[in-house]
Amino acid sequence: MIQITFFKQNKKWMGFCSEGHAEYDEEGYDIVCAAVSALTQTILAALLEQTEKKDCISWKLQKGFLSVQILESLSKEEQEKAEILLRALRTGLKMIQEQYPEYVSVKIKRNGR
């Protein structure tokens, strides 16, 4: 199962972590994994594109794992853009979860909980 956790701190969207494998089908044919990967990696690219200082976004990508953290040093405008992107990502992932609930789990962790 792919588990995606979004992080919110004081009502701000601070990032997400996606880990695991859907195992819907064999590697190379797994449409659930492909859909989640396409969404999460596109949002990472968009976040990096929207920020002037690339070190404001901390990220790590490995097979079956993507972690993205927005650091506090974003400008107000950049933070607003980041939140729009993260909300859009959550919407897309929730749609996948609705279609494939046994393969994808999406949750929000607030204030470290």
State how far the Cα of 54 lies from the Cα of 25, in Å rounded to an integer: 36
1 has pLDDT over 70:
yes
113 has pLDDT over 70:
no
State how far the Cα of 69 lies from the Cα of 54, in Å rounded to an integer: 12
State how far the Cα of 15 lies from the Cα of 27, in Å rounded to an integer: 27
Domain boundaries, the chain: 2-110
Which pTM does this prediction carry? 0.91
Average pLDDT of every residue of the chain: 93
Helix-helix angle 31-50:76-99, to 10 degrees: 170
CATH of region 2-110? 3.30.70.1490
